[in-house]
A and B are shown apart, each in its own frame.
Chain A
């Protein structure tokens, strides 16, 4: 019974203070760096996001040169005080109203989202109340499979579906006359059908369902209050004819 088994040198115990000092010091330094970068980049990032959305609004409303943001609060279209003032306080659906150079209403862009193949797809579509058609669509955010599902973003044939997609309201003005559906590529027969993409069936159907759900909910509201939409206040001349007088007087869509 000797102590010869303890020939190993006793491990050098770390000084706790040194460890706390190292971790704490590095932690404080890192937090400072992150906060400084965050504060420095935040205005630029917000501006980028606003610009991207504004660009998308003009893309889905061909011909529009000005836009005003409205918000649907409890079924009423309310102008948003100042788009530059920051995000809106309440959580109502935002609609972006586009006007052309002559202050005429071009259409209304609405943001919609829904489940795609991989993750949520966020898109923006333009609605022309006179023609009762979707006149443009742009995917804002998607994580669809590269090379297959992400064709919903760029595929020319698919996007051509949204140049004049029929979203006419039913006679009571409360719902869509036809359900927007995606059909197999090349089988489109009616104006409310969307030619799907071969190899991206789920993504195509998802886009159709997203637009169907959003249009069914918001188009009746937008169309019934279309007179409330005013061009930007900084206009030099008063609006000559905000929308086609015929369709303004018949919000039920009976002129079709």
Chain B
């Protein structure tokens, strides 16, 4: 973080906001690509995956933050993985209890949240060095940023691939659906297009920020 916040409050807000936009885990950090490409084929799957990852992120970050002073640094990674795996197992049971269909659609990718480097990354880089409140805010921001990115992909892929959005038809029946967008290859194309959009937005923003300074 290069900016020096004025007070504690703005630092907390910043911990939350940066994950949504400036350090978005998918579009900026390009982390956790495996679930991003695999289960963003429908908006519903994307939302479920995003929320599951957010839950694991928030819970593991808070536990890591609470225990940060009693975990020796030599065993910290093993402890973090243990904590993350626990919450992934919990989320797996909870999703099965909520909806078997969603569980069926997400398949092995729920278990693979354990190795999502975004989650271990936040535990190691942020939660193990910060207090509970800021760790939770950081995790919530990152998790929602991840969900937002998954939804961006899921909405585009479902509309083009099935002509529906959250299983509601949105395109006329004559529309010839692009099945490719539902396949892993289509995930790469859609992700590439979103990265392009995101990069051009941040580039334009950077220029706008720089322009007044040059004028001075």
Minimal Cβ-Cβ distance residue in B for A148: B179
Inside 8 A of B82's CB, which chain A residues have their CB? 23, 26-27, 30
| A22 and B72 contact, CB distance less than 8 A | yes
Is A82 an interface position by the 8 A CB rule? no
Whole-angstrom distance between the alpha carbons of A37 and B75 in the complex? 26
Considering only residues 95-119 of chain B, those with a C-beta below 8 Å from chain A are 96-97, 99-100, 104, 107
Give the number of A-B contacts (CB < 8 Å): 71
Main secondary structure on B side of the interface with A: helix
| A48 and B183 contact, CB distance less than 8 A | no
Whole-angstrom distance between the alpha carbons of A25 and B86 in the complex? 13
Main secondary structure on A side of the interface with B: helix
Inside 8 A of B94's CB, which chain A residues have their CB? 37, 41
Is A18 an interface position by the 8 A CB rule? yes
Inside 8 A of A33's CB, which chain B residues have their CB? 86-87, 90
How many residues on B have C-beta within 8 angstroms of the other chain's C-beta atoms?
29
Minimal Cβ-Cβ distance residue in B for A31: B86
| A41 and B100 contact, CB distance less than 8 A | no
| A23 and B97 contact, CB distance less than 8 A | no
| B93 and A37 contact, CB distance less than 8 A | yes
| B93 and A45 contact, CB distance less than 8 A | yes
Is B25 an interface position by the 8 A CB rule? no
Considering only residues 73-89 of chain B, those with a C-beta below 8 Å from chain A are 74-75, 78-79, 82-83, 85-87, 89
Minimal Cβ-Cβ distance residue in B for A27: B82
Inside 8 A of B74's CB, which chain A residues have their CB? 14, 19
A57 → B minimal CB distance (Å): 15
5 A-B residue pairs with CB within 8 Å: A19-B72, A26-B71, A26-B79, A27-B82, A143-B107
By Cβ-Cβ distance, the 10 closest A-B pairs, closest first, are A147-B182, A30-B86, A147-B179, A44-B97, A41-B97, A41-B93, A37-B90, A45-B96, A22-B71, A146-B182
